[in-house]
A and B are shown apart, each in its own frame.
Chain A
Amino acid sequence: MSDTQSHYTSPTFAGPKAGQPGRSFADIPPVKWARANLFNSWLNTALTLLLIYFIVKYAIDLVSWGLINAVWEVPGNDTRACRDIRGIGACWALINEKFRFIMFATYPYEEHWRPALVIVIFLALYVVSAMRRFWNRKLIAIWLLGLVAIGVLMWGGVFGLRYVGQERWGGLPITLILSTFGIAIAFPLSILLALGRRSDMPAIRVMCVTYIELIRGVPLVSLLFMASVMFPLFLPEGVTVDKLLRAQVAIIMFAAAYLAEVVRGGLQAIPKGQYEAADALGLSYWQKTVFIILPQALRLVIPPLVNTFIGLFKDTSLVLIIGIFDLLNAAKTSVNEPAWRGFGVEAYIFVAIFYFVFCFGMSKYSQDLEVELSRHRKR
């Protein structure tokens, strides 16, 4: 170790020579950094070389599998070309053939522009909501407008659009609907629950604690099963609630319980002085909560909140167990057809990209938001 170190510092080996114009190879910043961090001992050098070997090897494998040897197109449903290169090259012909099924599932084929537009509207709503200058009453109006547009596009039945029942919805719009409404409704609900849990009124406190502990104590899968299998039996015969709505409510209930505990964490982190100061100003309970406590509490819990949001976004894929074609289930079903069986990896990689983009977007935005909202502390 000391040996290598001395080499590094030794001017005869690589160090800068006084008065010499230009810089030697070892002075280029990345090289300097690499020598200081990656090759500073024989053990580190060995590990670095080993890692480089594996990274390069797998990168080459991945590129040759995913790009060079991949099959991009097959005639019709004749997948022999794909089967011949199984394990050597990817069969992107699957995505080529099943792209629209994975994106929109059983939505009528000739009406696919409608859910496609819905995805665009959702994305636009996310972008608008992310911009701070829209954080006022206008945002509510924008959302209402957006939701009406989404409803009209998905259901149709007006403006000459063909009616499409919820049982035919699927793919990415379902994932976005379930997670957007899941978050948008569960979040306010969770604030009420968290406040209720810290309330002085015993009845409310007991109710909230019971709800949170009960829902948190069971897996989401069992809630979804309850919603899809048990709940219909309690309804009078002939009255049915749509499967999608039942799943949506189950997801909201589940998310609300988890988020409530996150919010409670924030509430407890606020110094008692803040509550007392608000009381001293003569603010009512709601004024105190809305203007003093919540803004500070929620800012504190942005990381765990977003953590839960991201978890929820991915949890929506569990609806596959009750036969709803969300993005993941559509991908899974697309490789069910005998001709395409065995190309699950390609389908899963494809949907993984979507999940990653959305989750990474949320994570990145929350980091920026955190910096922005805690700017006052850095001054």
Chain B
Amino acid sequence: MKYLGLVAAGAALMIATAAPASAQQSTLDAVKAKDFVQCGVNTGLPGFSAPDSQGVWRGIDVDVCRAVAAAVLGDANKVRFTPLTAQQRFTALQSGEIDILSRNTTWTLSRDASLGIDFVGVNFYDGQGFMVPKKLGVKSAKELNGASVCVQPGTTTELNLTDYFRANNMEFTPVVIELLAEVTGAYFAGRCDVYTTDVSGLASTRMAQAPNPDDHVILPEVISKEPLGPSVRQGDDRWADIVRWSLYAMLEAEELGLTSKNIDEHLNSQNPSIQRFVGATGDFGKMLGVDNKWAYNIVKQVGNYAESYERNIAPLGIERGINKLWRDGGLMYPMPIR
């Protein structure tokens, strides 16, 4: 029996250290009280969230968490990361184990409406695409009639593929392979003409595994919508606002040309938009319930969206594409900070 006592004591200790966020308390107050943001991330998806050789978490999803910590606590390092598998992620958010879920999660109606969570924005627009060897000379997915296509089974990827070919009155031979490493291996070994998965996956596969990356092209057609973004628990609007505007602040900074390197020079800028952004005029931070220098802290410590993208996603060989700012022809449109 004394062993059970030991377990109970250990449990009590760990519960105590887990700093519970009480139900009455808002997430913002709880985060301020415990002095860190608990953030759910992927267990290892390079570019989005993965520990590097030093065990430091890096990626654009990770940067969202750091931005929120910078906004709320003034220190981008006050984040604790909870690596989550796909099955665990929503439970972890629902049960209050984490404050933010930033784990390359697709924003869909069913998730938003039925899981008790709220998506607050999109930090990466992904979508299903096709990769073919350059020597085939294919320029468009519409020319793929009769092709054999390598695809993983049981995913929406497979369904999207079927839908696309049917909608365009084309035939294809599926080469269905379960494991990621094997399906990419089969493609590079020439067992199929086309490999299909999300564009970000295609690009990083090409970068990492192709004997010569230049021998393969990713076709311009994107046949599905995979908007990936952070989410929070439903029912805490203030917290949702903070996470949403932290994300917008990174995009707004890029739009204003503010980077982690030059923002200090712009502290006394005459541009009213920049004045509002760095907190020189207006009480925008106060309205959110955080410090007025919240956006300055984000850019100074984490950087703007372009910097985050260059640091994390660009090395995978993924071009900005639809993730460019709206004025550059992309989909990233931060709401005005005013």
Q: Which residues of A contact B (CB under 8 A)?
A: 97-98, 100-101, 104-109, 155, 165-168, 170, 185, 188-189, 225, 228-230, 232-233, 235-245, 249, 252, 321-325, 329, 332-334, 336-339, 341-342, 344
- B39-69 CB mask vs A (1 if < 8 Å, else 0) is 0000111100011111111000000000000
User: Would you call B51 and A238 a contact (CB within 8 A)?
Assistant: no
Interface size on B, residues (CB 8 A): 48
- What is the CA–CA distance of A341 and B97 in the complex, to the nearest angstrom? 31
Where the two chains meet, the residues of B that have a C-beta atom closer than 8 Å to any C-beta of A are 3-4, 6-7, 10-11, 14-15, 17-18, 20-23, 25, 43-46, 50-57, 80-85, 87-88, 91-92, 94-97, 181, 204, 207-209, 315-316
CA distance A233 to B84 in the complex (A): 16
- Please give, as numbers and ranges, the residues of chain A lying within 8 Å of B181 by CB-CB distance: 344
* Complex-state Cα separation, A105 to B83, whole angstroms: 12
Interface of B is mostly: mixed
Which residues of chain B have C-beta atoms less than 8 A from A107's C-beta? 55
Give the chain B neighbours of A108 by CB distance below 8 A. 55
Q: Which residues of A contact B44 (CB under 8 A)?
A: 332-333, 336
CB pair A238 B20 closer than 8 Å: yes
Interface of A is mostly: helix
Decide: B14 and A323 in contact? CB cutoff 8 A. no
Please indicate the chain B residues that have their CB under 8 angstroms from the CB of A338 in the complex.
Answer: 46, 204, 207-208, 315-316
Asked if A104 meets B55 with Cβ closer than 8 Å, knowing A233-B91, A338-B46, the reply is yes
Q: Is the CB of A249 within 8 A of B3?
A: no
> What residues of A have a CB within 8 angstroms of the CB of B96 in the complex?
237-240
Q: A239-B20, A333-B50 are in contact. List 13 more A-B contacts (CB 8 A).
A: A166-B14, A167-B80, A167-B82, A185-B7, A228-B88, A242-B17, A249-B11, A321-B85, A323-B43, A323-B82, A336-B50, A338-B208, A339-B208
Q: If the complex has contacts A167-B81, A189-B3, A323-B83, are A238 and B55 also in contact, measured as CB distance less than 8 A?
A: no
A239 to B52, CA, bound (A): 31
Output the residue of A166, A242, A325, A344 with the most chain B CB within 10 A: A242
Query: Do the beta carbons of B85 and A336 come within 8 Å of each other?
Result: no
Please, which residues of chain B bring their CB within 8 A of the CB of A104? 55
Separation of A344 and B85 alpha carbons in the complex (Å): 20
Is there contact, CB below 8 Å, between A241 and B14? yes
- Residue in contact with B18 in the complex, picked from A100, A241, A332, CB distance below 8 Å: A241
Q: How far is the CA of A234 from the CA of B331 in the complex (A)?
A: 40
Q: Name the residue of chain B whose CB is nearest to the CB of A186.
A: B3
A185 touches B6 (CB 8 A): yes
**Closest chain A CB from B318 CB (angstroms):** 11
Could you give 11 example pairs across A and B, Cβ below 8 Å? A107-B55, A167-B80, A168-B55, A232-B91, A233-B95, A238-B22, A241-B14, A242-B15, A249-B7, A322-B85, A338-B208
A344 to B185, CA, bound (A): 14
Pairwise interchain contact B87-A225, C-beta atoms closer than 8 A: yes
Give complex CA distance A100, B208 in Å: 23
Nearest chain-B residue to A97 (Cβ)?
B53
Residues of A within 8 A of B92 (CB): 232
Chain A residues closer than 8 Å to B83, beta-carbon distance: 167, 323-325
Interface centre among B17, B25, B57 (most CB of A within 10 A): B17
**In chain A, what residue has the closest Cβ to B81?**
A167
Chain A residue, CB-CB nearest to B97: A240
* Pairwise interchain contact B51-A101, C-beta atoms closer than 8 A: yes
Determine which of A97, A235, A244 lies in contact with B95 in the assembled complex, contact meaning CB atoms within 8 Å. Answer: A235
What separation, in Å, do the CA atoms of A100 and B53 have in the docked complex?
A: 8
The answer to whether A323 touches B80 (Cβ under 8 A) is: no
Nearest Cβ in chain A — how far from B307, in angstroms? 20
Q: Which residues of B contact A242 (CB under 8 A)?
A: 14-15, 17-18
Q: Which residues of B contact A244 (CB under 8 A)?
A: 14
Give the complex CA separation of A339 and B208 in angstroms.
Answer: 6
The distance from the CB of B50 to the nearest CB of chain A, in whole angstroms, is 6
Residue of A nearest to B52 (CB): A337
Cβ-defined contact, B95 with A232, below 8 A: yes
Q: Which residues of A contact B14 (CB under 8 A)?
A: 166, 241-242, 244-245
List, in ascending order, chain B residues with CB within 8 A of A189's CB.
Answer: 3-4
State A238–B33 Cα separation when bound (angstroms). 14
Shortest CB distance A31–B (Å): 48
On whether A106 and B55 interact (CB within 8 A), knowing A236-B23, A333-B43, A337-B46, the answer reads yes
